[in-house]
Structure formats: structure tokens, C-alpha cells
Amino acid sequence: MNDPTGSSAAALSRAMAAGRITAEAVMAAHLDRIEALNPRLNAIVSLRPRDQLMAEARAADRGSRKGWLHGLPVAVKDLAAVAGLRTTWGSTIFRDHVPAADDVVVARMRAAGTIFIGKTNTPEWGLGSHSFNEVFGVTRNPYDPARTAGGSSGGAAAALAARLVPVADGSDMMGSLRNPAAFCNVYGFRPSWGLVPGDPIGDSFMSTMATLGPMARCPEDLAHLLAIMAGPHPALPFGRDAADYPAALDGPVEGTRIGWLGDWGGAYPCEDGILPLCEAALDGFADLGCEIVALDPPFPAEKLWQSWMVLRAFLNAGSKRALYDEPATRAQLKPEAIWEIEQGLQLPASAVYQASAIRSEWFRRLARLFRDVDVIALPTAQFWPFPAEWRWPETVGGRPADSYHRWMEIVVPVSLAGLPCLSVPVGFGAQNLPMGMQLAGPVGQDAAILRLGQAWHQTTDWPARRPPG
């Protein structure tokens, strides 16, 4: 294995298990690449000292094998706590915070043998699909460093695309696993809500829109990491049992009915070139034996947005109220966070109930829709990767944006329903910038969505087209 950084995590795991390569060699290769490329990209932050990491890699070589991640270098998204490693949530409030314990999923990854090398950059509190903050600055796209890598898992996506890490974790409320995957030509998988547990703190009954999940350069790596992350936690409600996702990857996909929703009848205007690229990808799925079905908008987009805005503001206000109430910490919140909290604080209970009722109505409509198709498909983003110095696109479809995240509205139908959804790379546009397409199925059909992604990857392998230089 001449270049460990060019291999998948699964290939590295197999090679280390067979004794064909050492964790020490894998670690050294990735740290060399981080040293060469990360200063330009700013994907990995809070990087641990090289001598400590090399010592841990040598210890992994001497010790018994713990699991699929044994000896693999991983940087955790800076929204998840890693014991002994600075975790900031992208906020100056926690600039020097060092947790004493791992979050649930981090503990599962540690038990599977990973070596945590640092964190991946994210916007403050994960708010927004552009990864910049006042602690570490902006993360740049490996395919064009003048452009955004997306967010909020932008550091993870950029690190994967640049081969700084073999596999990565992320999280997704409003496309945070999907958008950066599309912008960086990798895969991002949002699991069925409840499959991957969060941490048992605060509210866990009403907070049912955000989830953790895996990112990778191939679906096989997604499946392996998902198998480690997934499974119920005794202190959390609504848990779902994990499955053997790697074993389910190579089944047939012929006859899969993919419902194409496009731009939702014009409700989600997309920049030039995005829809044709996705439609060309659908032709590729047809070549795999899938049936492509053009769908009319199944639900009013404005009702979905209304429900989304109310529930998102309600949850943000609840989880961040203490930071807002304290003047010293409020002064350190970014304007978008303050806006979210203040929107939530003004909500009457009747508005929250109505938003939940709309969400429920949408889920019931999806149940009927999934009798006719197995999967729904949408572009992952409405914009190509935009200039890194922007905070967000200020116009959408030629009209001024009425919020900092209106430009990502196309991910809301999936998030609101908690569907399993894979963003698959579909190629490059006129400016050689990547794009992706969302493939979502019924809740619980995670293995089927990953299997469809595996068939696509075996035919296309878009991530093999590396960033220039």
C-alpha cells in the first residue's frame, strides 16, 4: 500500500488486520498530509501533537485489535465532546473547553479502536451550511479554496476530500451531513431519526430533528461506521436497533423506483446546471435497472417551511436560553444564533402545536407516496459552493433571502420527516465544482438506501476525482 491516504477506511482496516500495514505507517502518512494541506484548508482544528499520536499508533500495533476503527486516525466534528480534547462548538464561549468524558457516539468509536487526532471545523453551534467561526476561522473547499466547503460538517467533508482522514463523523439537522458532502464530492448519510443516539442531556422527547451520522469517500465506509455509531441508548427514548449494514451493501437494486422531485415545482429554485447534472445521474440509475418516476410536488413547500421555522426556533431557544439570558455569553453569540433564539422565545404554544401538526401531516403524506416509489430524489443543494468570504447567499431565486438558511430549503422535506437520506456525488459543473443528489427512503430503510449508493459508487466512483494539486 504505497499511499495509505488514498485508500478507503475499509481497505486500511483490512490491511491492518492482516498485518500488511501498521497503524504507525497509516498515522504518519495522514499527519504528513495534514501538515502539507490543512493550513490552506483549515478542515482540522485542535490537532494533537504528533509525538502523542505516533505513540498511540505504535501502541495500537502492539495491542489486541478492538474493532473496525482500530488504529485509524479520526478527527471528530467539533460539536461532539471528546474526553481530554478541546471541544468548542465553534464558540468563543468554549474556546478553551476540554471535556472530561466522551459523548455517546464518540465513546462507541473509541471502543472500536479509533485514535482521535483532533476535531473538524464547524460553524458556531452548527448553525448554517458554511463552516466558519470566531475561534478557528473558515474552512475552504479542496476543489477550490476560494469557495466554501459547506456545513455544518464542512471540516469533515473537506478533510475527507483532501485525504486528511479516511472516514469521518458528522451531524445533520438542516443538511449538515448532506450539503458539505455535495460541495466536497464525498458521501454524507443522514440516518433514520433515532438510529444513532445523541447524548442524554436536556430534552430528548421533543428534539427529534437533528441526528449524528457518518461521512466517507465510499458507501462501504459509511456502512461500517454507521454500524459502530448506531443502536439504542438506555437513557434515550425512540431508539432503533442497528443492522449489519456492510453485509447488506451488495444486494440487487434493479426495479428500485426512484421518484424525482427536482426543484419541487419551482419552490426550490436551483442555480444553473444543478438540475441537469442530477437528471444525468438519474439516467445512470436507470442504467442500473432502476425506474425513474417524475413526481409532482407532494406537499406545499410553504407549509413545510412554516413548520420547520417554528420547530427549529423552538428547539434553539430551549437549548440555548441560558447562554442568551447571561449578558456575558450573549455578547459572544453570533447574530444568527441570537435571531434563532429570539424567534423561539416569541412563539406561543399554539404555534408549536400547529407546526408539529403540519409535520405529522407531511409524514402521513410520505407514507402514501412510498407506496408508489421506493426512494425520493432531490438535489442536495440549490447553490454551487459559493465564495468563502460570504456568510450565506443573500438572494435565492432572484429574491432577497428572508433568513440565513433559506438557500438550503431543499433539505427540509427530509429533515422534517426524519428520513434516512444519502447524498451521493453526481459530478461537476461548469466551474469544476462538485454537486450531489439526495436519495431518501422510508424510515428504517437505511440499509436499502446505502445499498443503492453502493451500486452507484461501483459504477461511478466520483470521489476518485481528486481535488486539483
> What burial class does residue 372 get, using C-beta atoms within 10 Å of its C-beta: 0-12 exposed, 13-18 middle, 19+ buried?
exposed
Q: What is the pLDDT of residues 120-158, one digit of tens each?
A: 999 999 999 999 999 999 999 999 999 999 999 999 999
pLDDT, position 1: 74
* Angle between helix 23-41 and 50-62 (nearest 10): 150
Q: Specify the 3-state DSSP secondary structure of 422.
A: strand
% of the chain at pLDDT higher than 70: 100
Q: Is 152 tagged catalytic?
A: yes
What is the number of other CB atoms lying within 10 angstroms of the CB of residue 39?
Answer: 8
Does residue 261 form part of some domain? yes
Q: What is the pLDDT of residues 69-107, one digit of tens each?
A: 999 999 999 999 999 999 999 999 999 999 999 999 999
- Cα separation, 371 vs 369, in Å, equals 5
The answer to whether the bond into 204 is cis (omega within 30° of 0) is: no
For 227, the domain range is 4-464
Q: What is the pLDDT of residues 405-445, one digit of tens each?
A: 999 999 999 999 999 999 999 999 989 999 999 999 999 99
pLDDT, position 2: 84
Per-residue pLDDT band at 282 (split at 50, 70, 90): very high
- Cα separation, 72 vs 30, in Å, equals 10
The pairing of strands 257-260 and 291-294 is parallel
Task: Indicate the number of domains in the chain.
Answer: 1
pLDDT, position 160: 98
Q: What is the pLDDT of residues 302-338, one digit of tens each?
A: 999 999 999 999 999 999 999 999 999 999 999 999 9
Averaged pLDDT for residues 276-280: 98
Q: In the predicted model, is pLDDT for residue 241 greater than 80?
A: yes
Averaged pLDDT for residues 158-176: 98
Q: Specify the 3-state DSSP secondary structure of 1.
A: coil
Does residue 107 form part of some domain? yes
Residue 452's H or E segment, with its range, is helix 446-460
Residue 120 cell numbers, joined: 473538524
pTM: 0.98
List the CATH number of the domain containing 155: 3.90.1300.10
Averaged pLDDT for residues 255-283: 98
Residue 445: partners with Cβ closer than 8 Å, 6 or more residues away: 192, 374, 420
Q: Which of 91, 129, 176, 415 is catalytic?
A: 176
Residues in the chain: 469
Does residue 16 form part of some domain? yes
Q: Specify the 3-state DSSP secondary structure of 403.
A: coil
Using alpha carbons, list the distances in angstroms from residue 124 to 158, 167, 221, 273, 458: 17, 23, 28, 31, 36
Does residue 39 form part of some domain? yes
Per-residue pLDDT band at 367 (split at 50, 70, 90): very high
pLDDT, position 54: 98
Residue 374: partners with Cβ closer than 8 Å, 6 or more residues away: 256, 257, 258, 441, 445, 448
pLDDT, position 469: 81
| Alpha helices by DSSP H, 75-136 | 104-111
Per-residue pLDDT band at 275 (split at 50, 70, 90): very high
Does residue 469 form part of some domain? no
Does residue 376 form part of some domain? yes
The DSSP result for 184-248, as a single string, is HTSEEEEPPTTSS---S-S--SS--S-EEEEEESSHHHHHHHHHHH-S--TTSSS------TGGG
Residue 265 cell numbers, joined: 415545482
Averaged pLDDT for residues 176-181: 98
Does residue 449 form part of some domain? yes
Residue 437 cell numbers, joined: 443528489
Q: Which of 13, 77, 307, 334 is catalytic?
A: 77
Q: Which of 152, 153, 192, 415 is catalytic?
A: 152
Name beta bridge partners: 73: 115
The DSSP result for 46-57, as a single string, is SPPPHHHHHHHH
Q: What is the pLDDT of residues 54-79, one digit of tens each?
A: 999 999 999 999 999 999 999 999 99
Does residue 91 form part of some domain? yes
- Cα separation, 325 vs 60, in Å, equals 46
